[in-house]
Amino acid sequence: MGLPTLEQMQFQHAAAQLNALHAELIDDDRLEEWPDLFEEKCQYSVISAENHNRSLNLAAVFCDSRGMLVDRIVSLRRANIFPAHSYRHILGPTRVKSTSGQIVTTQTNYVVLMTRNDGQTSIYNSGKYVDQIDVSGAAPRFLSKTAIFDTHLIDTMMVRPI
């Protein structure tokens, strides 16, 4: 395997920055800004590694447009009742898996810590993001973002994005 080209390094940097912003918006509870990271026609899913590896399409969360992402946040703010908690993402390095024109496919390992209002922190979710990112515009945007989680049990209702 040879060294990456300058273009590949630029794609990697753009993807890493987009993932860092994704985590920041969730962790800082700026969820209303989160859908803006996605193209209008997009896909966001959170699926177990077991289902993903078996090509089973049963996801814990599935949205197929930016509008659905907005609806999810509005519902979270207005309708859902859940214990107060906060998230903190820890991201591994983003790796470019492939490119096709201005579409970049990347993989980033993640761990999400959850801190409850009593101060107790635990690992909430861990896995990898597999993303398709459009880098053709003024800012990169997710065409698809799939969180493939290794965690077999989800401690609480999966309310916020991962």
What CATH number does the domain containing 84 carry? 3.10.450.50
Region 18-43 average pLDDT: 98
Q: Would you state the pLDDT for residue 160?
A: 87
Structural domain count of the chain: 1
In which band, very low, low, confident or very high, does the pLDDT at 50 lie, cut at 50, 70 and 90? very high
Distance, in Å, from the CA atom of 29 to the CA atom of 58, rounded to the nearest integer, reads 27
Q: Would you state the pLDDT for residue 136?
A: 94
Tell whether 162 is covered by a domain. no
| Mean pLDDT, the chain, integer | 92
Tell whether 157 is covered by a domain. no
Tell whether 18 is covered by a domain. yes
Region 132-146 average pLDDT: 97
CA 141 to chain centre: 12
Q: What is the pTM of this model?
A: 0.93
Residue type, 6: L
Tell whether 154 is covered by a domain. no
CB 148 within 8 Å of CB 47: yes
Distance, in Å, from the CA atom of 110 to the CA atom of 162, rounded to the nearest integer, reads 9
Tell whether 161 is covered by a domain. no
Residue type, 148: I
Tell whether 152 is covered by a domain. no
Tell whether 75 is covered by a domain. yes
Residue range 6-29, pLDDT digits in tens: 888 999 999 999 999 999 999 999
Phi-psi region of 119 (alpha: psi -120 to 50; beta: other; left: phi over 0): left
Domain extent, residue 66, equals: 4-147
Partners of 69 in the beta sheet?
Answer: none
Tell whether 58 is covered by a domain. yes
